[in-house]
Structures are given as structure tokens and as C-alpha cells.
Amino acid sequence: MKIKICGLRDNFLEVAALKPDFLGLIFYEKSPRFVPQNVDNQLKQKTFGSQKVGVFVNESEEKILKIIKEFNLDFVQLHGNETPDFCEKIREKIPVIKAFGVSSKEDLFAAQKYYQSVDYLLFDTKTSGFGGSGRKFDWSILNEEEIQKPFLLSGGIDLDVLDEIKTLKIKNLVGVDLNSRFEISPTLKDIEKLQKAIKILQ
């Protein structure tokens, strides 16, 4: 199962040393895990063994392309109201993950029109904002509509539910996104918890 560790900044290199599949940097200014462009250059170096993901919310194409180059990103995650056409334009330059908030099966219908425009979907708990709630949604919803694209599961995931996730029989569930339940404070990850999570999921 693929592992994405998101909301990184303060101990980025320690997390990178764990070699998860994806390392997530958030470039949304309203997030407590925001990465400013004048941040330490260690976050801008290429990573080996993991793919670096930049998370954006309703950002301009020009700004996204600038940050892709500046931070040596391998993936872009679009977490706002971006259209399929916008995703396709970004995907011409870099692989794309498109995030969706979920509270009912109707929310899965919105994802269908993105199947040809992105590489992965990500399903998070639906909130008034754009993720980061630390709350889990009802995963049984994901069985109510056949999902035809590989996706990551997000939203309130902690050590206690990882064994349950491994037993889920949901088509195209390929990985998890770990964030707020694995940190000491926003952008400072709990390395011991992450090590345990990786051991469970491998």
C-alpha cells in the first residue's frame, strides 16, 4: 500500500529518510502547514526514494508551474475547485492527484469526470475548508459507487485504524495519506508514530 505523508516542513529530512512513497508540501496560505517560498533550501532539494508532492488550492497555473520548478516537485495535488481542463493542463507538465471531500456517495459522482484528467484521486473528509480536519469519514460510502481510478484515502487516519484499512475490500484503493494524527505540532511530524505506521502498512 502506498504511503503519502503530508503537511511536512520542520523535520522534512527526517521524514524523507523513512522513504514513504510520497512526501507532501502544502502551498496553501490558509493552511497551518503552509510552506512559504523563502523556506529552508533543504525542502527544495530533489528527494530519492520518494516522490515530492506539492498541494495547491485554487492556485493559478503560473504559480503552480513556478513552484514545481523551484521545489523540484514530482507530483501536484489539487485540493480545490479545479476543473478537469485545468487538471489536464497541469498534467501536461507533471502527474496530478485530485482531492475530493466526501460525505455521501453523491460526492463520488463529481470525481468521475476527472478520470481522464488525473493520475490518482484522493478522498478526504468533506469540510467547509479544504481538508486538514483530522476527522474520518464513513469509508463504506466508497463501496456504494465503483471507483474506476486508483485513489488514496485521507482524513483522520491514525495508528488505530491502519489494520482496518488493510482489510478494506474497496476497488482501486492503493494508498493512504497520513497527516495531522502523526504530528507533534503542525509541520513537525512524530517520527516514532510514522515508523510504526510504515511497519503496519508494509
Q: pLDDT tens across 82-108, in order? A: 999 999 999 999 999 999 999 888 889
Take residue 40 and report the three cell numbers written for it: 529552508
Q: What is the pLDDT of residue 179?
A: 94
6 is catalytic: yes
Q: Domain tally for the chain? A: 1
Average pLDDT value for residue range 9-32: 96
Q: What is the pLDDT of residue 126?
A: 86
Structural domain boundaries enclosing 188: 2-201
Choice among 74, 124, 163, 190 that is catalytic:
124
pTM over 0.85: yes
Helix pair 84-91, 61-70: axis angle to 10 deg: 30
Q: Is the dihedral of CA 68, 52, 131, 94 positive or negative?
A: positive
User: 146-178: per-residue pLDDT in tens?
Assistant: 899 999 999 989 999 999 999 998 999 999 999
Average pLDDT value for residue range 181-187: 95
Cβ neighbours around 162 below 10 Å, total: 18
Q: What is the pLDDT of residue 83?
A: 98
87 is catalytic: no
Alpha-carbon gap, residue 87 to 116, rounded angstroms: 10
Q: What is the pLDDT of residue 40?
A: 81
Choice among 6, 85, 158, 160 that is catalytic:
6
* In contact, 47 and 27? CB cutoff 8 Å: no
Alpha-carbon gap, residue 118 to 97, rounded angstroms: 6
Place of cell 530533489: 46
39 closest CA partner among 50, 52, 30, 26: 26
CATH code at 92? 3.20.20.70
Distances (CA, A) of 4 to 16, 105, 109, 157: 11, 24, 24, 12
